[in-house]
Structure 1
């Protein structure tokens, strides 16, 4: 049985609405969801990156997933809307509070940077307007090679007929470049009525240019790959470097220069030459 995920549920300060969305997702069979905190910096004033709320403050009790005996898993996600390269700060400590890290580039240059350089998990494709650039195969393939995925959200297509056209057009444009690889489908739902079941989303994926198998992977196995990529990214950024120490009493130091001497044969160590 497939494990279905929705990695984009819009955060709201209305606790009852957010609880209703999470409960509906569990009822529809989603085993994992992510609460998305949007962050759109502007040049006019300095803005602080939002801090994720503990899950026990958002919902009193996690609902049981339909068809399973375990409660739904809820993650935190940050999406940075980039209109300038300075809007994404690679070393920001605030990013570490989030399980998933995504960007939504608004220009071709920023899209190329997100695909090739930024240490992120998800590139969110805007579906509410016509994109001001075309998807080029080189940066898209670069993102695929790095394990970064592209996200298409369907709730905008439910709200408005104009956005529906943009959603389908932008999705088809993306599929021409990525060939259905590394794509996830999310809701970006603001209320429970905007959520759809896994098999309904699979049918929507066909409209977006995905095959039946690719559409199913876009809400299951590819989402799981995103979580593994996020764990790897966070682990890699927290590597603890250690150095070897020599067993000789005259070489009990941990400085990198000294440890290199320790690894050398005894005859080549300067302090043992005599």
Structure 2
């Protein structure tokens, strides 16, 4: 049984809405989610990078994951929307307060820089408009070699028919270039009704051009790779102690095997 993750639940100041998002994700079977703080700098005025709120302040009690024996894991994520090269500051100490770091480039030049240069975990592909550039193999292969993943979100496709067309078109265009490698599918949900279960997302991935195995990995093992990449990124030497993550992976495996063992014993 796979361990499923949704690494993009949009942050909301409304605690009830955020609580409902996390509870619904746990009920659908997601073991790990990330609360996403979207930061879109403006050239007109100086803006501060938002500070992540402690999880225990946002959510009173973490719900138990459906079919498992432990609470859902909630991470903090920052997404920087880049329309200018100065919007991403590689050494900004504010970035280190987040578990995951993502960028959403809006031009071909910025996309190339994100793939080849920027020390990030996730590159977001816009799904709300037609992209003003085509994906090229060289920068995409560069990102894959560096362990950076590309993210396609689906909630916008639920909200609006036009965005649905953009989502499918941009996703298919990406898959033609990356061949399904290093892709994660996430919700970018603002409310609980926009969340879908892992197997619904896997079916959606096939619509985007992913194979059955790549689609399943896009909500499971590839997401776990993102967490490991983030741990490595946050260490100056690149040497990271990953025992905690390994222990969690073993616990997830034990949780998934326990029901099967009980059934076998009963028979």
Per the normalisation by structure 1, the TM-score is 0.86
Could you tell me how far apart the structure 1 residues matched to 2:44 and 2:237 are? 31
User: Larger relative contact order (C-alpha < 8 A, sep ≥ 6)?
Assistant: 2
Could you tell me how far apart the structure 2 residues matched to 1:200 and 1:227 are? 23
Larger radius of gyration: 1
Could you tell me how far apart the structure 1 residues matched to 2:108 and 2:165 are? 21
Describe how 1:1-274 pairs up with structure 2 within 5 A: 1-236=1-236
Report deviation, 1:238.
Answer: 8.2
Could you tell me how far apart the structure 2 residues matched to 1:99 and 1:221 are? 18
Give 2:248's aligned residue: none
Report deviation, 1:105.
Answer: 0.1
Give 1:253's aligned residue: none
Q: 1:237 to 1:193 in 2, by over 3 A?
A: farther
Could you tell me how far apart the structure 2 residues matched to 1:187 and 1:179 are? 21
Could you tell me how far apart the structure 1 residues matched to 2:118 and 2:181 are? 19
3-state SS, counterpart of residue 235 of structure 1: coil
Which residues of structure 2 form unaligned runs of 5+?
240-267
Report deviation, 1:237.
Answer: 6.0
Could you tell me how far apart the structure 2 residues matched to 1:114 and 1:17 are? 32
Report deviation, 1:63.
Answer: 0.2
3-state SS, counterpart of residue 207 of structure 1: helix
CA-atom RMSD, angstroms?
0.9
Give the number of aligned pairs.
239
Which residues of structure 1 form unaligned runs of 5+?
240-274
3-state SS, counterpart of residue 12 of structure 2: coil
Q: 1:182 to 1:238 in 2, by over 3 A?
A: closer
Could you tell me how far apart the structure 2 residues matched to 1:209 and 1:164 are? 15
Report deviation, 1:235.
Answer: 1.5
